Amino acid sequence: MMPETLSVKALGGYIELQLPEVQEYYPNFIKLNTARNCLEYILRVQGYTLIYIPYYTCNVVLDAVKKINIAYQFYHVDVQLNPVLDFTVAPNECLLYTNYFGLKENTVKALKEKIDNLIVDNAQAFFSVALPGVDTFYSCRKFFGVPDGAYLQLSSEDRLSLTSDVSVSRFSHLIKRIDLGAEHGYADFIANNVDLEDNEIKNMSALSRRMMKSIDYEACLEARNDNFNYLHRSLSSYNELAVDPDSVNGPMAYPLLVPHQGLKTRLIAQKIFVPTYWPNVLNWVSSDSDEFYLAEHLLALPIDHRYDRDDMNRIIDTLKELL
């Protein structure tokens, strides 16, 4: 199917989905289909011989690395999500670090001073500004109701020649959740996630790009900060993760790290959906490691633009009964 943007513009006829047209948040970055493909793009262009990857990350990040056959080594992060740098990164090697939940901007800045070939995964940190000269990528669908899409700041001027993705077949969960409710769209969400696997590097689809131009980013950022700070005021005394309130800049979720078992299931039973970051980690590390503890015990509480104080109070009240 050829995207319409490549053919002559159609005039007249039926009217398409109507969205406001404002501006993208990162108009000058490279626009791709997924964050994992941004990593592949960086590795193809920069030609590193080895990449250091945190054990505490999503398996699709590793898929991108395996796809291009570059050597890789895992490294540990501690329970505060800081890297354990007990190795040296050689000049032709690079280190990937995730800006966890969008709360690790200070760690990213400190790493930039130490590591020449730093790659920052801002998939969980849409609003964190990329540092000058640091290859940095973002995933749109973790923050907004879009099927896919990613932004890449690349320090090299080299560009790959790409075709454009088409996202229309990965759209159903977004509209089912509105029309039928979250549970009815869930199977489609999973299927559409699977569809993103083995999807080659392409430019962001016209659909995702158009949707990314329609968002009130200031309102989204403000809602996230407000909800995050509100949860933090009530839950910080329980939280084993040290959160610096000054580093809050539109984070992805409120990460609550508590030793209790089985909380996730009990929250889900109350229709408070809390994902696991990341199930693959439980197979990658030993059960006495910090990453295992994080994957098992960290509750990523929703704080996004869809929610207000009443919703946050429901989360707090439910948790306080369980803690």
Ligand X SMILES: Cc1ncc(COP(=O)(O)O)c(C=O)c1O
Residues at the site binding ligand X, with contacts judged by CB under 6 A: 34-36, 57-58, 60-61, 98, 121, 123-124, 139, 150, 196
User: Which phi-psi region, left, alpha or beta, contains residue 44 (left: φ > 0; alpha: ψ -120 to 50)?
Assistant: alpha
Query: Between 203 and 319, whose beta carbon lies closer to ligand X?
Result: 203
Query: Between 94 and 312, whose beta carbon lies closer to ligand X?
Result: 94
Cβ–Cβ contacts within 10 Å for residue 62, how many?
Answer: 18
Min CB(163)–ligand X separation in Å: 18
Query: Between 142 and 314, whose beta carbon lies closer to ligand X?
Result: 142
Query: Between 57 and 107, whose beta carbon lies closer to ligand X?
Result: 57
Min CB(10)–ligand X separation in Å: 30
Specify the DSSP class assigned to residue 151: E
Query: Between 212 and 312, whose beta carbon lies closer to ligand X?
Result: 212
Instruction: Name the helix (H) or strand (E) containing 257.
Output: strand 253-257
Query: Between 139 and 153, whose beta carbon lies closer to ligand X?
Result: 139
Amino acid identity, residue 71?
A
Q: Is the distance from CB of 194 to CB of 223 less than 8 angstroms?
A: no
Min CB(189)–ligand X separation in Å: 12
Min CB(142)–ligand X separation in Å: 7
Q: Is the distance from CB of 308 to CB of 257 less than 8 angstroms?
A: no
Query: Between 238 and 293, whose beta carbon lies closer to ligand X?
Result: 293
Cα 309 to Cα 221, 222, 318, distances in angstroms? 15, 13, 14
Tell me how far apart the alpha carbons of residues 288 and 15 are, in angstroms, rounded to a whole number.
Answer: 57
DSSP letters spanning 32-85: ES-HHHHHHHHHHHH--SEEEEESSS-HHHHHHHHHTT-EEEEE-B-TTS-B--
Min CB(83)–ligand X separation in Å: 14
Min CB(213)–ligand X separation in Å: 18
Count of CA atoms in the C-beta half-sphere (13 A) of 175: 6
Find the helix packing angle between 59-67 and 35-46, rounded to 10°. 30
Alpha helices in 203-306 (DSSP H): 206-212, 217-235, 263-269, 281-284, 290-297
Min CB(229)–ligand X separation in Å: 23
